[in-house]
Each structure stands twice: as structure tokens, then as C-alpha cells.
Amino acid sequence: MSVSSLQQALADKVEDAEEAEEDGRFEQAIILCNEVTRIDHKKSEAWKIRTRSFIEMGRLDLALENAREAARIFPSSISHRIMQARVHVLARRWDKGAAIYRAILREEPVHLNSIRELMDFETITPQDEIYQNLARAADDSGMKPYDRASTWFLRAQIHMVAGEDDMAFRLYDEGNRRMRDEVHENRRLEYSFSRLLPELDAAFQRRWSPMTAPDPCPLLVIAGLPRSGKTLLEKLLGSQSGLYAVGETSVLYNLFLDVDRSGGADGTLQALRALPGQPIRDHYADRLKYGPKKGAFRCIDTTPGSLEQLGLLGPLHPDVPIVFVRRDTRDLAASLYFKQFNKAHRYTYDLGTAARAIARTEHLARRWQATMPNPMAEVRYEDMVADPVGSARRILTQFGLTVEEEPLRHAAGDDGRALNLLPGRSLDGVGAIRPDLVGFSQRFARQLEPVLPAYEAELRELG
């Protein structure tokens, strides 16, 4: 085999490994990466995929070993070092994680991911050198627009921790303005409904109800906006031996979005039923088969975008349980506004659009509850924080699932150490369940004045 042919074959294996990782086939991803690095140990992406796969399998020891070896092979690459820091943080080795982040920042003072992740568990003040470096980079034309906006969000968070709320909000306003104007160029900022929504009614569900019960689908959906408490509920339910938390997979969202919808809701459902196999059931069955939690019989998916298209799930898999998560309107709007998302969730960069998004997703939840045949439950973030064990127990019982008290109590009491529990933090699912963020928006009542009027007006518009 020629050198060019060999390199192409290795590139194909790396691509296959990445696809296996995305599909939750972590053992297969590791095998493919092993094959690549045995032939050419200089394939950096294979080392990254292997580290991430070990993390997902819960093998933090192997993840750390792999990341360390990769950092030795690629001494100029920061990515393998930051992955070591993440492993330390997941293992609650806070000091070791902080030491790596700070070492990176001595070399690259505005390494945004290191700053962002360090701030999850260390307090940085406006007098800190890290803050000063962020301030100097705020208008650096050599940075990408998203990264420039990040310097405003991070400084805002620093001021908020310091109790300087007016300054914090001014910085958040500017960071969000830059996201709207410079990153998204003011395009498609509103949370929008599927154009099929008017047709996805109770009559549609009855019309397409399966004549015979379909094969059981090993899925449980947690639906709601980001920052609403989905990850908290996933952490609690995922403590049970039969439930495997797979996070945000985008499988439902992409399937329903990519199918031909030109024939309206009925034509779309026909197209979905004409697909080979049972794509939803098959995907999550494979997740269980190849995942690290061998006793699990159902996957928990928390993809926010699934909510928009959820009505199409009922006729395909009416047995899939769905939990809708809600949160106080102003708390949620503030949490969305304080969090710098990547490509999705453009509605978060303005308080009015965030408020309308909250009203629209609550409208969707009510519609699906009134029309879909699936077993459903609803839970509020505030109730989960006040009584995490009781809230999770109620949902498990409602869906006829066994309640394993000891792991549930462990998940509810896992505190590691007191993290900086901030609405914009990057580290989810780690640390104690604390009430810090319940009602925190009262601090910003004056700045958040547009939220409730926009929310209430949208509710009236939706009827």
C-alpha cells in the first residue's frame, strides 16, 4: 500500500471511530483508535477520541493515562492537557485540575476554555490577572467574533460572583449584543415552531395510532429548554441501574428534521414509517448494547430540540415515557441570558426572545400532554432542588419503574466540593444539589423587567 493510500485508510478509520463515539459505541471507537495509533501514533484526533470514549465509559484512570501519553507525544498541543484537567475535575481532584489549567494560562493567557472551566470551581476576582487579560482581549480583531464575545461573558460572571451586579449586567448585555450582531448577524433569533405543528393534533395521533403495539422502544425523553433542570433530572434518574443517561444525542431532532416533510404531517409520518428498520428503537437499542451500563434497559435523552418535533414520536413509539421540565420564568430567562451557547439557542441573546421562547416551549409541552398517547410527567426545577429524591421517586413510580433508593440518595447527595453554582457555568451534573439558583433572579429584578411582560404577552398570543 502506498503512503498516500495508507494515510487515507487511517483517516477513514479515524472518521469511523468518531462516528462510533457519536453513536455511543465507545468500545468500538477505542478499538479503531488502537488500530490507527499502532500504525501511526501521530494521529492526534485518534488520541482525543480514545480519551473521550474512556471518559464516557467511566474509566477515568484509562482516560487520564491516554491523555498524558498524548500530551507527551504532542507537547505543543493544549487540547490533550486540558482533557487531563477535565478528567481530574470529574474525579474531584480539584487541585490537580486547577494546576493544569493555570499552567496552560501561563503559556496562553487568554485560553478561554481553561478560564471557563477553572471558574467552575475557583473564584477569580476583577483584580485577578486572568480578568485583566480578558479585558485586554475584548476588542482583539485577531480573535473570532465568538471568542471576543466570550471575554464579555466571562468578565460578567466574575463581577457577578463579586456581587457587582450592575457591572455584570452591563457586560452580559454587551456579550449578548455581540452574539446577536456579530456572530449570528441578527438572523433567526426567535424560537420557532415546526411548520407541521397545526397538523400534529389529537386527531393526527388517533389517525396514526398503530394497529398493533410496536416493539418496545428503550427510550425515556426529558424535554425542556437548556438550564431548566434537564441535566439535574438526568443525573437523578441515571442513578438507577436500568436507566442509561446518554445526554443530548440529537437523534430524534435530526431524524424528524431530515425526513421529507413536503407532504404535511401525514406525509411525514408515512415517510418515517417507510424508513428501513425502526431508526429510533434501533439507535437506542444499540446504545444499550454497546454502552458501558450493561444492565440498563432504557436510555435517557435530554436533547432540547426534540421538544419541537415531539408530536411525531407518538404514532411511532407511544410507549416512550416523556418528562417535561419547567422552571421559574425569570430564573430561566436570566440563566439563558447569562450562558453563552454555541450555534444553537439563538433566542437566548435577548431577554424578550428568551421570554417568548419559554412561553412557546410551555405551550408545546401542554399541547403534547393534551394530544400524545405517551406516558408523561412534569416536574419543576424548584421541586427537584427542594426534594431531589422525592421528585425522582415520583417520576419513576409514575412510569412503573423500580426505585433503587441507595443510588438515588447517593446521586442527590453527591457534593464533591462546593462548586461555583452559577447559571452560566460549564460543568453540569457534578457537585451538590443546592438551592443557590432558586429565585436568584430577584438580584436582577430591575434589569429583568422586560421578561415577564414579554412572556405574558406571548402566552396571550398563543391562547
pLDDT tens digits for 173-198?
A: 999 999 999 999 999 999 999 999 99
Q: Which of 345, 310, 354 has the alpha carbon at shortest distance from 188?
A: 345
pLDDT tens digits for 86-105?
A: 999 999 899 999 999 999 99
pLDDT tens digits for 4-27?
A: 888 899 999 999 999 999 999 999
What structural domains and CATH numbers belong to the chain?
A: 1-108 (1.25.40.10), 197-462 (3.40.50.300)
pLDDT of residue 429: 55
pLDDT of residue 311: 96
User: Average pLDDT, stretch 405-433?
Assistant: 70
DSSP class per residue in 287-320: HHHHSS-TT--EEEE--TTHHHHGGGHHHH-TT-
pTM: 0.93
Q: Which one is predicted more confidently, 208 or 431? A: 208
List b or e across 307-326, with b for residues whose CB sees 16 or more CB atoms inside 10 angstroms.
Answer: bbbbbbbbbbbbebbbbbbb
Sequence-separated (6 or more) residues with CB below 8 Å from residue 203: none
**Grid cell listed for 322:** 416523556
pLDDT tens digits for 386-395?
A: 999 999 999 9
pLDDT of residue 214: 85
pLDDT of residue 211: 85
pLDDT at position 415 over 80? no
Q: Which amino acid is at 463?
A: G
pLDDT bucket at 212, cuts 50 / 70 / 90: confident
User: Average pLDDT, stretch 271-294?
Assistant: 94
